[in-house]
Chain A
Amino acid sequence: MTARAAYRLPAHRRLTLALAAPVAALILSLAVASIALVLSGSNPFPAYGRMFSYGFELETLVDMVNRATPLYLSAVAVAIGFRMNLFNIGVEGQYILASIIAAQVAAELSLPAPLHLTVIILVGMATGSMWALIAGVLKVTRGIHEVISTIMLNAISISLVVAMLFRQWDVPDESLNQETAEIPPSGRMPNLNGFVELFTREISKGRVLWGFVIVAIIIGILYWLYVARTRPGYDLRASGINPLAAEASGVSPKRTVIVAMALSGAVGGLVGLPEVLGRDYAYGLQFTQNLGFAGIAVALLGQNHPGGIAIGALVFGFLDSAAPILDVHGDAPQEIVEIMKGIIIFAAVITYVVVQRRRQDEEARAASLAMASSEADPPAEGATDAAAPDSRPAP
């Protein structure tokens, strides 16, 4: 009995298995991108060297984090759904709608700074949540698959609702840039330049580290706590793994769909706010789109794990912010980065499966080892003797 209690895959083995997939994916993507570069007549090594040295300049790193922040939020939103096999493809529509409404509310309110910011963030979350809930309710009441409904809701949100609101709220001025009214200073997210500069040199070239990264970190921690440490989070995961067993264990399938969609949408509603509250102080034509779809890729890369998603978002942020240097020097077209991103996802998905199998094999072997080591005691007696003290029903 002692032999069986002690065995478990050792910590270093589990870590190696966890890291194998992303590392392999990265190496493979570099290899494939190199081939593409050679074929198109560029030398990959100076290109990578340049990306690397430019990429690790302080200003580029600031860009990287600014880019990673919305990607992270978007990926967490998607991951909440993925955890119960719910595909929220609608983060795109949720965050764009949430952004314009939050921007407008922010501009019209005047409150003391911390409260003002909090209200804006809550408005964004509520809007995203409501929009996602439409898909959740449709699924629960009418059995409409969330992929279909969220894709349609994306179109409605972006092409109809946002377009109409934007016409309504656009403030005419002499510049050609169309924007909603400017958010007063009390509703803006303070930047973190001062904090970063405590540790390093001054951030130049007008770069600003958006304060919203703090919100993203908090969301990441809350997501981890929810999924790994709370009973509703367990219910969510259980439904994702085996909905029938979850149902028998007391999880209401309908309720879980509603909760997951609401939470996913709430986080989705935050995706556009780093830009709105950190850079533009309004919703305008320069607003970044497609973050909702990029989030799906990042969630996949990070395997829905809060830490994994953070790494994925930073890798994508790095590639996006370091790529422009390639065009500047003409080493290679910066679009090569898009190839790399594609290959990373592709390779990651494959290597995850390989690693997963490997891990299952090792576990199964460990379990059969445990069985063999306890072969000596006849099962019938072993079970009956020991079962007695624990099988006493309540009086």
Chain B
Amino acid sequence: MTPALSLEDITKRFPGVLANDRVNLTVAEGEIHAICGENGAGKSTLMNVLYGMLPADEGRIVVRGDEVHFRSPRDALAAGIGMVHQHFMLADNLTVLENIILGAEPTGRAGRIDFARARRRVAELSDAYGLDVHLDEPVENLGVGERQRVEIIKVLYRGARILILDEPTSVLVPHEVEELFRNMRDMCARGETIVFIDHKLDEVLEIADTITVLRAGRTVATVKPEEVSPRDLAELMVGSELPTPEARTTAAQDAVALEVKDLSVLDDDERAVVKGISLEVRRGEIVGMAGVEGNGQVEFVEALLGIRAPAGGQVLLEGSEINEWTVRQRREAGVGYIPEDRHRRGLLLPAPLWENAMCGHQSKEPYSRHGFWLTPKAARQRTRELIAAFDVRTPGPDVAAHALSGGNQQKLIIGREMVMTPNLLIAAHPTRGIDVGAQAAVWETLHRAREQGLAVLLVSADLDELIGLSDRLLVVFRGRISAALDPATVTPRELGAHMTGAAADVEEPQPA
């Protein structure tokens, strides 16, 4: 049978860089083909070549037996290849329907848009593929999962039979991922072919029919998921043996760094989303706060940082109450913060790295003198040091943050907190959306810092991360701590059950 798509010896050079080096990829009709690799392995370049955004320097692209030459995404779409980008490209103020047909509107008499026809066609598609969307809802009101479905329908609407999904799960919460996977299987059952870019091993192993691994611009292996273990796959990706999480030995001291007493917090709509949480984090201890997103973690962290005023309760840092402290006072007192979304809360993307490195510490040396005069020279020097120490791959401290890949941006953020030797680190989803290599580096950094006496509050939904790193585990469910678990004995399955509330009834008689 002719493969749906094959890329043969694709080579793409940038000045001084070989981004793709004779990459081969064969995708069978109707399969889900995962492409995985570290950040910078050449996945995005390859997809951009396939989608007509970049011309290949060498090699052939063959679609269903015919060689093609794409000069733009329009050509790719004409050949039935469509791409859903990692960052959505939707107009917020238009409705779902308008967004889907934008640029490909069916026109009636006198060039008027035939909305009735468009609606029928889009409704057919969304029914056929089980992609549930509200056609008349403005996109700004949509959650991430639904936005993604809109993007998928948009591509299907343009007649794509081969879909490229660029890290589709990186923006989704677990139950949305499940739904996406269901949609992907449905689409394949109806004859679509999916090329799926990801670096989360468990997801790749769960959904893919075939996996191609890229490393440093080359194809290193094409495997079937049933033939490999997650560990094999990870080692294929990074090309070396991974560090094993060592057996834990407690480093916890008696001194309490953070104490939270009966804290309640309201969200923007004044609903109580944190309902009386109490916890303690001692020096040299990592306390894992496990929970599916949307159970009040965001607001809880904002209250700890001083961004959001609590509705009740107390926050104590090193024994003193800090309820009235400003964000800056808390940060100056040694509260480090790794935000759950590095683009939203973490980085000044167009600003150079050294200005990003000082973000959160701008009132302290070496970034400024007397908290007033900036010291750019010293700041650059410190940034160079942290770039070297945390293996941030960048040409230098003057590059803008948006030029870096996600993993390197995250290493920069972690580095900027760690070099300031915090007393308490609030780490929210510190390894989300980064590859296994960067993930291992982040874990190792946290591990070492804890041994040296740092108190860490780890807010996460990643089961391996929670179990592997934490000294104690607290499960947060609907704004309350629903269980306290021992990471040494708990299984991922039990933890998952607690997080989704399946086990919560036992722990807490009256959930809200």
Contacts and interface: CB of A to CB of B under 8 A. Distances in A.
A368 interface: yes
B345 A364 contact: no
Nearest to A380: B440
A369 B243 contact: no
B131 to A, nearest CB: 31
Contacts of A380: 238, 240, 242-243, 437, 440-441, 444
Nearest to B456: A393
A50 to B, nearest CB: 43
Contacts of A279: none
Interface string A236-257: 0110011011111111100000
A364 B403 contact: yes
Contacts of B111: none
Interface in B476-505: none
A39 B23 CA distance: 58
Interface stretch (A5-13, A168-176, A288-296): A5-13
Contacts of B362: 231, 234-235, 238, 249-250
B421 interface: yes
Interface string B229-265: 0000000001110110000000000000000000000
Interface stretch (B81-89, B324-332, B463-471): B324-332
A366 B403 contact: yes
Interface residues of B, number: 86
Contacts of A364: 402-403
A373 to B, nearest CB: 8
B360 A250 contact: yes
Nearest to A234: B362
A249 B240 contact: no
Contacts of B376: 229
Interface residues of A, number: 60
Given A238-B348, A245-B345, A8 B396 contact: yes
Interface stretch (B1-9, B55-63, B139-147, B387-395): B387-395
A245 B362 CA distance: 13
A370 interface: yes
Nearest to A395: B453
Contacts of A381: 240
Contacts of B368: 231, 234
B417 to A, nearest CB: 9
Contacts of B239: 378
Interface string A30-53: 000000000000000000000000
B93 interface: no
Contact of A379 (B346, B351, B391, B415): B391
Q: Which 3 A-B pairs have the closest CB atoms?
A: A250-B328, A383-B441, A7-B395
Interface of A: 1, 4-9, 228-235, 237-238, 241-242, 244-252, 360, 363-375, 377-384, 386-395
Interface of B: 14-19, 38, 40, 216-217, 238-240, 242-243, 283, 305, 307, 326-328, 330-332, 334, 337, 339, 344-351, 355, 358-363, 368, 371-374, 376, 384-391, 393-396, 398-400, 402-405, 408, 411, 415, 418-419, 421-423, 437-438, 440-441, 444-445, 448-449, 452-454
Given A365-B17, A367-B403, 9 more contacts: A8-B396, A249-B360, A379-B38, A380-B238, A380-B440, A387-B444, A388-B448, A394-B421, A394-B423
